[in-house]
Copies of this chain bind each other. A is one copy, B any other.
Amino acid sequence: MVSRLPLEEKVLADLRPTQAEKDHVCGLAQRVLERIRQSGKADGMVVGSIARHTWVSGDRDLDIFMLFDPSLPREELETQGLALARSIASSFTENYHEKYAEHPYINATIDDVDVDLVPCYNVDSAERIQSAVDRTPFHTRYITEKINGLIDDVLLLKRFTKAGGIYGSDQMTEGFSGYLCELLILHYGGFTPLLAAAAEWKPQAIIDIENHVAKEFDEPLVMIDPVDPKRNVAAAVSVDRMAEFVELARGYLESPSALFFELPKDSPITRDDLTTLIDRRGTSLFAITFPTPPYIEEIVVPQLKRSTSAICEHLARNGFSVHHAHYRMEREECMILIELLVSELPAIRSHLGPPVWNRVNAEKFRSKYRDSSLPGPYIDNGRYETEVPREFRKAADLIKSEGMLQISLGKHVRQSLVNGWQVHEGRECWSPVFSSFIAGFFNRCSPFVRHEKESGNHNS
């Protein structure tokens, strides 16, 4: 039915799970479901991409929900649900532990498969859900019913977005979730029609498959959840990830290539290459590092993002113009990396005062500064202004100073900084664990441009 490019067929051959993989994962799923059934306490249901047959070969994420009676009080659900999950997991392996999203659940590694055992309520319509997890079975039912014939398209899209670095609704990626990929394929009827449509997307694009939107959304991309008219499935997609998808779509349609499905290579920078690079650029590089707060990525990464903005504003307020800044959370340490155009400034700066016409404030300002040995106060465009000594002549001194704790860092980032942080300069910013992050920092380009550069489609 669908005419597929040979290169896409070739990619698909690698993406489709093999029969052995399917047997292995589905066999395990059956055994877990059987245990739930035997318990007599809940219904078992496989959800996620394995249930929907939209999983990519090599994925090993088996999500099994345990649906309890909605009359069970919330506390009971957590106690009984967790007890059941624990008992089932322990009957397979000792390698399991409790995790926490909106509610607690059990994560176990069984026969090389990463299994989540999640208790939820078995409600009879999506309007009756009591928490976000209750919605997942409805997603699975919706997709499973309709996705027939489009599974290969979903696999291509997942790989296409993953290769572009825009797959995942996590805080670091701010990209496209698996469910969003499935809905996009459903709505547009395939991979190629989706790309043709996306090539013309503009922010505030709204897709409403069931034509039942019941709320206003201000995110750049809006995909109304078919099972919940008040939910935007694409809420996590940032405007930049959306623009990158648009760009990839245009690029692929214009000249399709296997490169669009190749996962980005990890290409760390060496300390010596960093030294040469900084030297050639003539910029000043600073890294702020501190122990990673003991919380999950979904908590820490947004705080890192906010902290990075706050530090950039703190630098800018003090006259240091930030060229580029980015952040990275690793297991032990976080890094905020900042490239400045200028890292040293003169001893003086201008300080703006009130308009002369505002007599009370004007006289306060003048009498506060008239005794200074520096020029001023003088009048510029009807306002007082004066010169004052610059508090921080060196950017390094500023980001080493206590004032860092006064700016708007996230709660847990701040708690970590209270115990101290390190400031590295120039080549000293390099460390093995951040060497890929630093390489990416200096190799900024959009996913499509990266494909173009890697394909050698350039002159220099």
Residues of A at under 8 Å CB distance from B?
199-203, 220, 239-240, 242-244, 246-247, 250, 280-283, 319, 323, 341-342, 345-350, 355-357, 359, 362-363, 366, 370-373, 375-382, 384, 387, 393, 442-446, 448-449, 452-453, 457-460
Given known pairs A444-B376, A446-B378, the reply for A346 and B243 (CB within 8 Å) is no
Q: Which 6 A-B pairs have the closest CB atoms?
A: A282-B346, A371-B458, A243-B356, A375-B444, A283-B346, A378-B444
Contacts of A199 in B (CB 8 A): 359
Whether A377 lies near B449 (C-beta < 8 A) is yes
Which residue in B281, B357, B366, B381 is a CB contact (below 8 Å) of A348?
B281
Main secondary structure of the interface of A (DSSP, over half): loop
Whether A379 lies near B202 (C-beta < 8 A) is no
A357–B244 Cα gap in the complex (Å)? 10
Identical subunits present: 2
A202–B355 Cα gap in the complex (Å)? 10
Whether A323 lies near B341 (C-beta < 8 A) is no
Contacts of A342 in B (CB 8 A): 342, 345
The distance from the CB of A327 to the nearest CB of chain B, in whole angstroms, is 15
The distance from the CB of A317 to the nearest CB of chain B, in whole angstroms, is 14
Contacts of A380 in B (CB 8 A): 240
Contacts of A201 in B (CB 8 A): 357
Given known pairs A347-B281, A371-B460, the reply for A341 and B357 (CB within 8 Å) is no
Given known pairs A375-B442, A445-B378, the reply for A347 and B280 (CB within 8 Å) is yes
A177–B199 Cα gap in the complex (Å)? 66
Contacts of A378 in B (CB 8 A): 444-446, 449
A449–B445 Cα gap in the complex (Å)? 53
Which residue in B203, B444, B448 is a CB contact (below 8 Å) of A382?
B203
Contacts of A202 in B (CB 8 A): 357
A238–B323 Cα gap in the complex (Å)? 38
The distance from the CB of A350 to the nearest CB of chain B, in whole angstroms, is 7
What are some 28 contacts across the A-B interface (CB < 8 A)? A201-B357, A203-B357, A220-B382, A240-B381, A240-B382, A242-B382, A243-B357, A244-B379, A246-B356, A247-B356, A250-B363, A280-B347, A281-B346, A282-B345, A282-B346, A283-B346, A319-B341, A323-B348, A366-B446, A366-B448, A371-B458, A371-B459, A372-B458, A372-B460, A373-B460, A376-B449, A378-B445, A378-B446
Whether A323 lies near B350 (C-beta < 8 A) is yes
Contacts of A247 in B (CB 8 A): 356, 362, 366, 379
Contacts of A282 in B (CB 8 A): 345-348, 393
- Chain B residue with minimal CB distance to A452? B370
A220–B443 Cα gap in the complex (Å)? 53
Contacts of A387 in B (CB 8 A): 444
* Given A366-B446, A376-B445, 19 more pairs with CB closer than 8 A: A200-B359, A203-B357, A240-B382, A242-B382, A243-B355, A243-B356, A243-B379, A247-B366, A250-B359, A250-B363, A281-B346, A281-B348, A282-B348, A282-B393, A370-B458, A371-B459, A375-B443, A377-B446, A379-B446
- Chain B residue with minimal CB distance to A377? B449
Contacts of A350 in B (CB 8 A): 323
- Chain B residue with minimal CB distance to A367? B452
Contacts of A359 in B (CB 8 A): 199-200, 250
A201–B382 Cα gap in the complex (Å)? 12
A373–B460 Cα gap in the complex (Å)? 6
Contacts of A363 in B (CB 8 A): 250
The distance from the CB of A67 to the nearest CB of chain B, in whole angstroms, is 41
The distance from the CB of A196 to the nearest CB of chain B, in whole angstroms, is 13
Contacts of A377 in B (CB 8 A): 445-446, 449
A393–B280 Cα gap in the complex (Å)? 13
A202–B459 Cα gap in the complex (Å)? 62
Whether A449 lies near B370 (C-beta < 8 A) is yes
Contacts of A453 in B (CB 8 A): 370
